[in-house]
A and B are shown apart, each in its own frame.
Chain A
Amino acid sequence: GQNIDQPTEMTATEGAIVQINCTYQTSGFNGLFWYQQHAGEAPTFLSYNVLDGLEEKGRFSSFLSRSKGYSYLLLKELQMKDSASYLCAVTDSNYQLIWGAGTKLIIKP
């Protein structure tokens, strides 16, 4: 079966760094996405990885290891507005997105 695992909830402090992990088992792999979703709102695109390694985009970075079926999203210099759910999604061999349940990130002052 297809499976994407993320922690359900994480808590971090404003100004700190947090790493949100995602592991996946899917039929084929054609890329991994991270989306941000604030409560009551639509998901919005953060990053896309298809090759192994780290992609940096401002305060957010995303890492992929295809051999390990593993990715993480790294958020630096946390701000209160970063409180949201972070969704990991993998494109499978049928080019469909398989979504994780999301990690709710709580930022404390």
Chain B
Amino acid sequence: IAGITQAPTSQILAAGRRMTLRCTQDMRHNAMYWYRQDLGLGLRLIHYSNTAGTTGKGEVPDGYSVSRANTDDFPLTLASAVPSQTSVYFCASSEKGTETDTQYFGPGTRLTVL
């Protein structure tokens, strides 16, 4: 069982380019999340999905979009990348999306926008 996979592992991107970060889980978890992690700051929630077909905005959603067409996949798209989006991006999932749920994290994508 792989758990959560993310692709690519790392990417250098020119400003203004469009980029999709992929996330797939094989645990049949209902809820999925996208976070960014920046030095000196806590993980910040970008978008989340409590179940397939639904999505919601987190703390820092501007410049990002998501979709949840099925249970397993939760891609994150940067429509027009900017240098401030340079970060490490983590995808996570949890079984039910409730307050007691443990979140399981993917290995992360290190994105640099020049």
Q: Do A and B assemble together?
A: yes
A residues whose Cβ falls under 8 Å from a Cβ of B? 4, 30-31, 33, 41-45, 48, 50, 87, 89, 91, 95-102
Known: A50-B100, A96-B45. A43 touches B105 (CB 8 A): yes
**Chain A residues whose CB sits within 8 angstroms of the CB of B90 once the complex forms:** 42-43
- List residues of chain A with CB within 8 A of the CB of B103: 45, 97
Contact A99 B100 (CB under 8 A): no
Interface size on B, residues (CB 8 A): 21
Interface residues in chain B, defined as those with a beta carbon under 8 Å from any beta carbon in chain A: 40-45, 48, 58-59, 90, 97-100, 102-108
Given the interface pairs A43-B105, A48-B102, the reply to whether A96 lies near B42 with Cβ below 8 Å is no
Given contacts A96-B45, A96-B58, contact A45 B102 (CB under 8 A): yes
Closest 4 CB pairs of A and B: A99-B42, A30-B99, A42-B105, A99-B43
Complex Cα distance, B106 from A9, in Å, reads 25
7 further interface pairs, Cβ-Cβ under 8 Å (given A33-B102, A44-B105): A4-B42, A42-B106, A43-B43, A87-B43, A96-B45, A96-B58, A98-B42
